[in-house]
Amino acid sequence: MEYNYIKALHLIFVITWFAGLFYIPRLFIYHIEASQKAEPDKSILVNQFKLMTKRLWYIITWPSAILASIFAITLLIMQPVWLQQPWMHVKLGFVLLLFAYHIKCHFIFKDLQKDIVKWSSHKMRIWNEGSTIILFSVVFLVILKNAFNWIYGVIGIFVLGIILMLGIKLYKSIRNRNPNA
């Protein structure tokens, strides 16, 4: 009985963690673009994006990452047999990759809070897709487990990445033709 409650809480915080990771790069894009505007728009917008990212990062994203991890560890303690499953080893590898993505976003967040802009909005749009690829990988892995066909899975992730990159290029060309898009 407790197991299902813990699993539900784990899933809820995974969802809110990903929501934060999906939205924070989008706010970074807006912040980067606002930093290129003329005053007074620049100051007004940059200050607003700093506040929004700070709230999202410290009130939703970080707590969700921590709570999702606590509940995941609790589930693994309750079901240690999962640690013997090859799919779980791969999933934990993706979780480490997700934490690496999260930490890199934290460094970008800290730079932007100090008005240090190292990324272009185009590069940030590409970076924004990292969490999407990790999410797709983990969901397919967890649902399909041992039935997962690695060849098709790897090909599928690459195809997804290519589709996302083409979508970004298409958006950029549309935006260049119509700056208000």
What is the per-residue pLDDT for 150?
60
- When comparing pLDDT for 140 and 22, which is higher? 22
Q: What is the pLDDT of residues 128-178, one digit of tens each?
A: 988 888 888 888 788 777 655 666 766 777 787 788 778 877 877 887 787
Q: What is the pLDDT of residues 29-66, one digit of tens each?
A: 999 999 999 999 999 999 999 999 999 999 999 999 99
**Mean pLDDT for all residues in the chain:** 90
Q: Are 25 and 53 in contact (CB under 8 A)?
A: no
User: Who's near 131: CB < 8 A, 6+ residues apart?
Assistant: 18, 21, 22, 25, 98, 101
Nearest to 29 by CA among 105, 103, 100: 105
Q: Are 31 and 49 in contact (CB under 8 A)?
A: yes
What is the per-residue pLDDT for 65?
98
pLDDT at 88 over 70: yes
* Integer Cα distance of 90 and 153 in angstroms: 12
Nearest to 127 by CA among 107, 105, 145: 105
pLDDT at 105 over 70: yes
Cis check for the bond before 179: say yes or no (omega within 30 of 0).
no
